[in-house]
Amino acid sequence: MADAPDISIVVPVYDEAGAAPALAREIAAAFAGRSFEVLFVDDASGDGTRAALQALRSEIPQLRVLAHGRNAGQSRAIRTGVLAARAAVIVTLDGDGQNDPADAPRLVEALVAGPATLGLVGGERVRRMDGANKRWASRAANAIRRRVLDDGAVDTGCGLKAFRREAFLALPYFDHIHRYLPALMLREGYQVAFQPVNHRPRGSGRSKYSNLGRLWAALSDLQGVLWLKRRARDPGTIEED
């Protein structure tokens, strides 16, 4: 792509008018001096999130604001952003401000410094700033997923990730795919790595998921990803005469 940036930061948001503008400024500061764009994907918010972000475009020229016509979920918003992104390297962050943008360049550097087969560098939250029930549910879900899928990931729920755009687009898409990226990257023959990252308290808004809702979705998704993993075929090396 002509004049494409080196890095595209994709942030899905839904009813985050209180957090999104400050997060956009933090992202711009974290990547200052680099070639980047930041895409906020508004998943049909009803609280003015889109307008609050649009008001920042003169302040942050790298900012792009995409909007869904109806609510389609976090994974769909991430995919919308990745499809629209112009860079070969993608960074994702949650839109609630709990991921620290200051950690993002370090994940990008690790990805770029690695071999071409390194598809993803995921963040692992060192100290979760969530309630006890949410932390317990997350630990239990991660332990079950790691045992079943053998993906080596301790914290797939961390929204802060850096990955190669072409690797992401090679994966089969489904709702909640963002929680299974390490396993699916491994399925496609890519390597994955992880680095510790900061986690912050939520400053505004509220969680869009309940523990029970996560559990039912996770059980169904886990069966599907396990099926995909079992159905994978490795062609070995690929040569062209």
DSSP 166-193: HHHHTSPP-TTGGGSHHHHHHHTT-EEE
HSE-up (13 A, CA, CB side) for residue 75? 16
- Note whether residue 237 is domain-resident: no
- Note whether residue 241 is domain-resident: no
Mean pLDDT of the chain: 89
- Note whether residue 26 is domain-resident: yes
- pLDDT for 134: 63
Residue with the bigger pLDDT between 213 and 18: it is 18
Whether 168 shows a pLDDT value over 80: the answer reads yes
Does the reported pTM lie above 0.75? yes
CATH number at residue 160: 3.90.550.10
Cα–Cα distance measured from residue 18 to residue 47, given in angstroms and rounded to the nearest whole number: 9
Ramachandran assignment for 175, one of left (phi > 0), alpha (psi -120 to 50 degrees), beta (any other): beta
Q: Using DSSP bridges, classify how beta strands 89-92 and 161-164 pair: parallel, antiparallel or unpaired.
A: antiparallel
- Note whether residue 55 is domain-resident: yes
- Note whether residue 1 is domain-resident: no
- Note whether residue 117 is domain-resident: yes
Least confident piece of the model among 46-50, 86-90, 163-167, 236-240:
236-240
Ramachandran assignment for 44, one of left (phi > 0), alpha (psi -120 to 50 degrees), beta (any other): left
Q: Per residue in 177-225, pLDDT tens?
A: 998 999 999 999 999 999 999 999 877 756 655 555 565 667 778 888 8
- Note whether residue 240 is domain-resident: no
- For residue 175, the one-letter residue type is D
Mean pLDDT for the stretch of residues 134-153 = 70
Number of domains observed in the structure of the chain: 1
- pLDDT for 200: 92
- Note whether residue 147 is domain-resident: yes
Size of the chain, expressed as the number of residues it contains: 241
Backbone angles phi, psi at 191, to 5 degrees: -95, 155
- For residue 117, what are the domain limits? 7-230
In which residue are the tokens 């029970």 written?
Answer: 212
